Amino acid sequence: MHAPLWREVLDHYFKDKQDLKFLELGTGNGLCANFLLDNYSCTVDTVDIEETRIVKEQENQYEVSTIKNLQPFIEAGRCTFNLMNTKQFLTANQDKQYDFIYIDASHDKDWVLYDAVTSFALLKTEGLLIFDDYGWGDCGIGINAFLECFDKHIQVIHKGWQVFIHKASDLV
Ligand SMILES: C[S@@+](CC[C@H](N)C(=O)[O-])C[C@H]1O[C@@H](n2cnc3c(N)ncnc32)[C@H](O)[C@@H]1O
């Protein structure tokens, strides 16, 4: 659904660049990570509290494994799947720096704000940050708090169901 806009914006930032470092908070079934890994010369660290989920479709139900969906990329050393919550991952990986961060984990306003502030420190200056689900429940309250407090350091590129942010500067 978001692929056309993602292609336009991510191509602007990342087309023809090599060795990009991407972070996804909230892996789900791994669809977005697959899209990123298929289309860009990147590695992806992705984080989720669940690895396996039961999907129900009409009469049928089946098990979906995130690791299986990402397996070729994990084996190629281009993807890590981190089974933990975002706070645990962000606390343990403060030394990392990413070109792109996608925030799509908990949609509770406190978690969204925590994920935004903490991962912003891991985003390179001139990097790209995308939030999903701006209109979902209280998710937008967390996103708005971040936008208001970090206004000196960011440019909002797009605000719709997803919010696209350019990191202009770091806290100093
Ligand atoms: C909408 S799905 C992610 C979809 C994925 N980004 C994609 O586009 O393909 C949200 C995921 O966030 C995970 N999640 C929720 N709270 C979390 C938390 N605090 N830390 C890590 N993952 C969390 C859920 O288990 C769920 O799989």
Query: Relative to the CA of 105, which ligand 1 atom is closest?
Result: 12
- Residue by residue, DSSP assigns 80-143 as EEEES-HHHHHHHTTT--EEEEEE-S--SHHHHHHHHHHHHTTEEEEEEEEE--TTSTTHHHHH
For residue 158, what pLDDT is reported? Answer: 96
Q: How far apart are CA 61 and CA 58, in angstroms?
A: 8
Whether 113 and 41 have beta carbons less than 8 Å apart is answered as no
Ligand 1 binding site (Cβ under 6 Å of any ligand atom):
24, 26-28, 31-32, 47-50, 85-86, 104-106, 111
Interhelix angle 139-149/109-120, nearest 10 degrees:
40
Report which ligand 1 atom has the smallest distance to the Cα of 66: 27
Cα(151) to centroid(ligand 1), Å: 26
pLDDT of amino acid 164: 98
- Structural contact between residues 128 and 100, judged by C-beta atoms closer than 8 angstroms: yes
Q: How far is the CA of 154 from the centre of ligand 1 (A)?
A: 24
Three-state secondary structure call for residue 74 = helix
Within 13 Å, how many C-alpha atoms sit on residue 156's CB side? 14
Distance CA 82, CA 105 (A): 13
pTM for the full predicted model: 0.97
Full pLDDT tens readout for the chain, 172 residues: 888 999 999 999 999 999 999 999 999 999 999 999 999 999 999 999 999 999 888 889 989 999 999 999 999 999 999 999 999 999 999 999 999 999 999 999 999 999 999 999 999 999 999 999 999 999 999 999 999 999 999 999 999 999 999 999 999 8
H or E element that contains 54: strand 52-57
Query: How many residues does this entry show for the chain?
Result: 172
- CATH 3.40.50.150 given to domain 3-167: yes
Ligand 1 atom having least distance to the Cα of 85: 20
pLDDT recorded at residue 32: 97
